[in-house]
Amino acid sequence: MSESLREPRDLALQALYQADRTGDVGALDELPSKARRLVEGVLEHLDELDAEIAQASTHWSVERMPVIDRTILRLGLYELRYVPNTPAAVVVNEAVRLAKTYSTQRSGSFVNGVLAALAEDE
């Protein structure tokens, strides 16, 4: 396993991506506690997160977004709203990193724009 895959956000992203694609989140008990808390939190607040993302995204509905991009946005917005000890700039930067790592360079700009708009509401 590469070093980046050991990061809690990366692991949470993979589990959430799997849940979106297959409807099955897999073995949460195998995840480190921080990654597990992130996954459980996103899933618990999924409808609310999607509604906020839809409002902030002017050109894409959540359903039409690439799965990886909407998963990154959900994870980032969950952290903005429910993990108060993480600064907004760190959350946005990490989401952009995930987008550039797992999606496309253009996805990094898209994720940055949507999350930055949502972070302003904080």
The confidence score (pLDDT) of residue 38 equals 97
Residue range(s) defining the domain that contains residue 11:
3-120
The confidence score (pLDDT) of residue 6 equals 57
Tell me: pLDDT of 122 over 80: no
The distance from CA 25 to its chain's CA centroid, rounded to whole angstroms, is 15
* CATH code for the domain of 29: 1.10.940.10
Alpha-carbon gap, residue 74 to 53, rounded angstroms: 8
The confidence score (pLDDT) of residue 3 equals 47
Question: Residue 72 has which token pair?
Answer: 């990154």
The confidence score (pLDDT) of residue 105 equals 81
Alpha-carbon gap, residue 51 to 32, rounded angstroms: 28
Per-residue pLDDT tens digits for 41-52: 999 999 999 999
Helices (runs of H) and strands (runs of E) counted in the chain: 6, 0
Residues 10, 72, 115, 101: what is their CA dihedral angle, to the nearest 10 degrees? 60
Per-residue pLDDT tens digits for 75-110: 999 999 999 898 999 999 999 999 999 998 899 999
The pTM assigned to this predicted structure is: 0.92
Task: Classify residue 34 as exposed, middle or buried by CB count within 10 Å of its CB (0-12, 13-18, 19+).
Answer: middle
Report the domain count for the chain: 1
Q: Tell me, what DSSP letter sits at residue 32?
A: -
**84 near 122, Cβ under 8 Å?**
no
Per-residue pLDDT tens digits for 53-72: 999 988 888 999 999 999 99
